[in-house]
A and B are shown apart, each in its own frame.
Chain A
Amino acid sequence: MTAIYVPIDRWVVAARVFSLTAENLRRAGRDGKESGILWLGRRDKTAQITATAFPSGTGVEECPGHWRISPEVFGTVTRWAAPRDLCLLGVAHIHLRGVPARLSRTDRNCGVQIPGILEVIIGDGGDQLDYRKWSWYVCENGDYHQMSKAEIGKRLTVDHSIDFESCTVNAESVLFSTEAQ
C-alpha cells in the first residue's frame, strides 16, 4: 500500500460524531431497516474524526437485511469532502435487534480496503448508544480485525471541544450541510 496512508495509532473523535450517528441511524432501525453513515476527518498518526456524511434518499438502500450506497453517493460525498480537506476514516452502520453486532462476510467484503479505515457496527437497531459497546473493526493488512475493549480504550479518545461539521447527501447532491462549529 502506498505511503500516502499514514499508519493510524489513535483516533480523536468529535463527540457530536457519535450523537449524530445515533440520531440518524436509529430512525431507520425503528422502521426495521439497516442504515449507515460515513465518518470523515483528517488522517495522521493521530487521526481526527470531525465530520459525518449521512446518505439518504436516491442511491441509498436501507433494507431489513442490508444497507448499501451507490457509487454516485460516494461521488457526492467526495465533492463535499475534498474542498474541506476531509477524507474517509470510517463507516458505521446498524444491525437490527437480534442480529449480532459483528462484521458479516458481506460487510467485510464490501468494506473500504484501505489501512486504518474503521468499520463500526452498532447493535440493537441503533438503540445501543454507548460507543464502547459498539463493535469496532480496523482494516489492517488487507482485512478487518476487531478491536478489544482495551484497544478501544487505548486508541480512541472522545473530544467535546473539537470542531465538527456534517452533511446529508444522496446520489445527486448535498441535501444539507453544516459548517465547522
Chain B
Amino acid sequence: MDPSIQAGVDIQHSGSPQVAHEIVKVTVAYLPAPVPFRHVFRDETVIATVRIDALTFFGVQDHQDRDKHEFFLEFEGRRLTNMAETLGQLLGPHRREAHFNLIEEITKGAIDE
C-alpha cells in the first residue's frame, strides 16, 4: 500500500448484508509537501474533517503571530468556504473521487514593520 494512503473507512465484511455507505477517494496536494494526502472517506464526511485531516498529515495548522495564517481547501479552482458541506453534496451522486489543494492564506496583522 502506498504509505501516504491512510485507511479511514471500516468496510464491513461480516455475513449479514449491510447498507453500503458510499465512499470517496480523496487526494489533497500541498505545494511544499513531496507526497499528497490520500484517504478514503464516507460521502457524508464534511469538508471540515477533510481539511483537519489534511492539516494533520502535512504537519501544519492555522495560527496567528504578527499575521493570521489560515489554510483552505481548493476544489476545481475555487476556494471551499462551507465547512459543513459533505463530500456527497460537493461531488454529487456519481463521483467517487475528489482532488483538493491545500493552500495557506496569510492575512497581514495590525503591526507593520
Contact = CB atoms under 8 A, between A and B. Distances in A.
Interface of A: 1-2, 4-6, 42-43, 71-72, 74-75, 77-79, 81-82, 87-88, 104-106, 109-110, 112-114, 117, 172
Nearest to B4: A4
Given A71-B103, A75-B103, A104-B113, A4 B31 contact: no
Contacts of A82: 29, 36, 101
A112 to B, nearest CB: 5
Contacts of A43: 34
Given A71-B103, A72-B79, A77-B31, 6 more contacts: A5-B33, A81-B31, A87-B31, A109-B66, A109-B67, A114-B32
B7 to A, nearest CB: 17
8 contacts: A2-B59, A5-B32, A71-B79, A71-B105, A74-B101, A87-B31, A110-B67, A110-B106
B104 to A, nearest CB: 7
Contacts of A5: 32-34, 59
